Structure 1
């Protein structure tokens, strides 16, 4: 596709999913992608951190590399921001300009909640770094899957697989995460919608589909 084609194409839709580990984001993203593609939409699912070659290297350092075990909250914040700056410019903006429905598994709200509210970094600094990284590119709708931290904690520990750095945090950390997301949803009700993640996947998906139809009339 040429630059002229990009400029003349109808703009896409940018949607992000948020929530604590174990809340069911992956399931809902999968269901939504299938339904959108069945409706004839071009869909791209990306993840944060990651989504680009640079971002995937950062993801490994943040989540799995032994070198990341002693990482400070400040370094963690800046690495997430670096991955975000890359994916916005390399992937999200061109995809939206080309009319693609972009679904992101986590975006800037994760950093506000995890590094700001749960890690305790100054929120003004977190927001300023997020703003620099995104350059004004924000989701049109953010769906927060809200679940009791103890239930989510049990889910991730019941998988039997090796947990990454973020999943290995204590329950008290995830309680702060949930409170943080609820605070954000209350502060930005037009963009962030809180969904009860304790319900069946089908019920949650139905609510998500209704929300998207109300925001994106081409679906």
Structure 2
């Protein structure tokens, strides 16, 4: 278990095109000026050299033919390395860790949307994550049609393994993330990601100010 004086762990979740990466960077900039403590920005799958190699394989679709369980195992392997080499050491040093996706994505993607037994997903999470659970999870909620349109407009190499799934898959994802937020309101904050980026940033800042006010320092007074 983490010591009480350890750093803060904030995760960002949501469907494709919800704007997580943008908002992670915006919050990191705000926290660096507000708290005075180091802020680590990372992502899943990825965040460490071994985990990044697994990310490349997963997003290429190489594991898809083997089913949701195989993907969940690969995500878990990446998460173990990520936790051991980056997240847990940073938290032990008293740093703030902002992570673009974490265990809730496995619950949603391989569990609810992929059809994997929830009890199996829970067991994997218990073994892999242990006590290193987020202090706050910001779930960016967006209509999947809009999110996929945003993702398609990025102009990169084309849809990855998950962006290429049918709309019904992404609808199940949204439902899963909303269910997680409803089931764990003490940890999760549901953020309307359909608004302009500045408005989304303000909503995130307000959620952080309400749940973890010390992170914003003197900036917490104008967080709303």
**TM-score, normalised via structure 1 length:** 0.91
Q: Tell me what 1:165 maps to.
A: 161
* Deviations, residues 138-180 of structure 1 (Å, cap 9, x unaligned): 0000000000111111111222322211111111110000000
Find the residue that maps to 1:70 and give its secondary structure. Answer: helix
**1:145 correspondence with 2:102:** no
Aligned partner (choices 93, 109, 112) of residue 114 of structure 1: 109
**1:11 correspondence with 2:31:** no
Query: What's the offset of the Cα at 1:36?
Result: 1.2
**1:186 correspondence with 2:161:** no
**1:71 correspondence with 2:40:** no
* Deviations, residues 195-214 of structure 1 (Å, cap 9, x unaligned): 11011111111121122122
Is the Cα contact below 8 Å between 1:44 and 1:100 reproduced in 2?
yes
Pairing 1:1-219 to 2, within 5 Å after superposition:
10-39=5-34, 40-64=36-60, 67-161=62-156, 162-218=158-214, 219=216
Q: Tell me what 1:4 maps to.
A: none
Instruction: Give, in whole Å, the separation in 2 of the partners of 1:176 and 1:215.
Output: 28
Question: Runs in 1 of length 4+ with deviation above 6 angstroms?
Answer: none
Find the residue that maps to 1:150 and give its secondary structure. Answer: helix
Instruction: Give, in whole Å, the separation in 2 of the partners of 1:204 and 1:157.
Output: 21
Instruction: Give, in whole Å, the separation in 1 of the partners of 2:5 and 2:185.
Output: 26
Is the Cα contact below 8 Å between 1:50 and 1:57 reproduced in 2?
yes
Is the Cα contact below 8 Å between 1:10 and 1:98 reproduced in 2?
no
Instruction: Give, in whole Å, the separation in 2 of the partners of 1:159 and 1:212.
Output: 28
Is the Cα contact below 8 Å between 2:189 and 2:207 reproduced in 1?
no
**TM-score, normalised via structure 2 length:** 0.89
Find the residue that maps to 1:186 and give its secondary structure. Answer: helix
How many residue pairs are counted as aligned between the two chains?
211
